[in-house]
Structure 1
Amino acid sequence: MATTHSLSKVLPVAPSRVFVHLTLIGYLLLALLPILLVFMNSFKSRDAIFDDPLAWPTAETFSLIGYTKVLGRSDVLMYFGNSFIVTMASLFFILLFGSMAAWGLSEYRFRGNRWLKFFFAFGIMVPIRLGTVSILQLMVELNLVNTLTALVLVYVAQGLPLAIMILSEFMGQVPSELKDAARCDGIDEFRIFFQVVVPLIRPAIATVAVFTMVPIWNDLWFPLILAPSDKTQTITLGIQQFVGQYATDWNAVLASLSLAIVPVVTLYALFSRQLIRGITAGAVK
């Protein structure tokens, strides 16, 4: 036992594992450094930002003027509220309709089943922005321009294909014995779906939630086109008010970006355990 334990310490690490870990660490630094720079410079004065953007805030350079400007404007809080409403409403409908459609495609066999799956896969490959002109014309005809409803409808249509494809694969792994036993007990299909299937695919639901939440929260394209009014602007669009043609209030911009990152990081932290379980479950499938 002692010899085996000592040999395990002497055995060298495979070069491939070292390369993989170094690559992952490099990617982690590449992803986190810009976020760290935004946070660091949001607590510095304007002169300190341009003098040395890579330096940490000190007693001489520390300043909260950016946060004072941002939080002092009541419309910025409204922009945060609009983003939160649009993101949560879109996630709710994407997860609800996506899981129900995935249940239908994975559980029931009918003519056109494969064509429907191909149709949703095609929706993942084609960017929804290609139909911006048609979407804008439709929203004008429905009188939904400058409403949060227009954004929710677009984001639901954007997120459904990916949600259906991911959830249908996970639902196919649910043991049929569980569903058959529930049917033998007289449980209807809706209760089987919500009480048996949905609890078993929570990791997949968390994965879909994270993958669809971040693009919705960060999107600037559709808020700029469909909801540019002052009362319907999202936070990504509202930040643009601090960016001028000839001068930019970098303190306010960096403070706004820092505040906008917090909800996404918080929601990711809440879903992270389920997200990792969902990714690893898909890896060993």
Structure 2
Amino acid sequence: MGQYVIAYLFAVISLYPIFLMLLSSLKTNIEIFKNPMALPKIWSLAAYRKLLDQLPYFDYFGNSVMVSVISVALILVFGSLASFYIARYNFKWNSALFFFFLLGMMIPIKLGIVPLFMLMKTFGVLNSSLSLIMVYVAIGIPLSVLILTGFFRTLPKELEEAAKIDGCSDLRVLLSIITPLMRPALGTVMIMNFITVWNDFFFPLIFIQDEAKKTIPVGMLTLFSEYSTDWSVLFAGLTLSSLPMIILFAVASKQFMEGMTAGAVK
């Protein structure tokens, strides 16, 4: 009984900021400062209407969705292929290759922002969503290789051997036999990388100058003025931007939990 009380307490503490953000988006600025913790006296969607009038919010939203979906899809594809190769094939440089991918987690990529900027300029992809996708895929692959390689190694090789006897190629084995069993791991990689890409502020600020190509974190920066900030509009934007992450986690939460706890019990 006590463990459930503690679990519910942590759930309330975790969810309360989201609830407070939603309430603040339905208040006026005066109400936010006078009674920040109270319910709105008058429930109003004026902040949402003002947000859509002030900013091309749906353009920002569409850019964020496009960059996040493409980046995560490429991370899952390349991460799965690399992990399958490392986990299932024994060759001389197997450990060195795995360590090479792990170096991507050990070295902060932001330390190389100047060379990255020059590289994107050389490729001609500055001020383009492609520059963001390339960086996010490079950031996400090391973690996906670490997670997926460990999961591949837990799967029995007999499944693959039986499929190869039936005439399946290695790629067919991966797509038809292994991938369905890897849904918990793939769900974990998907959620973790989607949150990272969706919330990133640094790289869009550096690589994107065109207003129409900005993502939500950078686009909403215009809501902060030098002398005052319309907090109700800001909270409205934050509420809308958090919806995809909430929906994604609600849909893939089962796979995420299984992926995080797999291997904990023998």
- Aligned equivalents of 1:30, 1:160: Cα separation in 2: 32
Cα distance, 1:120 vs structure 2: 1.6
What's the C-alpha RMSD, in Å, of the aligned pairs?
Answer: 1.5
Matching residue within 20, 30, 41 for 1:37: 20
Cα distance, 1:129 vs structure 2: 1.3
- Aligned equivalents of 1:116, 1:136: Cα separation in 2: 27
- Aligned equivalents of 2:232, 2:90: Cα separation in 1: 57
Cα distance, 1:228 vs structure 2: 3.0
The aligned residue for residue 140 of structure 1 is 121
The aligned residue for residue 49 of structure 2 is 68
- Aligned equivalents of 1:218, 1:190: Cα separation in 2: 33
Comparing 92-101 with 275-284, which one deviates more in the overlay? 275-284
| Displacement over 6 Å in runs of 4+ | none
**Residues 63-99 of structure 1: CA distance to partner in whole angstroms, max 9, x if unpaired?**
3221001223562100000000000000100000000
Instruction: Within 5 Å, give how 1:6-155 maps onto structure 2.
Output: 18=2, 24-59=7-42, 62-73=43-54, 75-155=56-136
What is the letter of the counterpart of residue 37 of structure 1?
A: L
- 2:162 matches 1:181: yes
Q: What is the TM-score normalised by the length of structure 2?
A: 0.95
- Aligned equivalents of 1:195, 1:106: Cα separation in 2: 17
**Residues 91-138 of structure 1: CA distance to partner in whole angstroms, max 9, x if unpaired?**
100000000000000000111110111122221122221211111111
Q: What is the TM-score normalised by the length of structure 1?
A: 0.89
- Higher Cα Rg, which structure: 1
Q: 1 or 2 for the larger relative contact order (CA 8 Å, sep ≥6)?
A: 2
Secondary structure of 1:145's partner? coil
Secondary structure of 1:119's partner? helix
- Aligned equivalents of 1:140, 1:75: Cα separation in 2: 27
- 2:218 matches 1:237: yes
**Residues 211-260 of structure 1: CA distance to partner in whole angstroms, max 9, x if unpaired?**
11101101100000011320210011111111111111112111000000
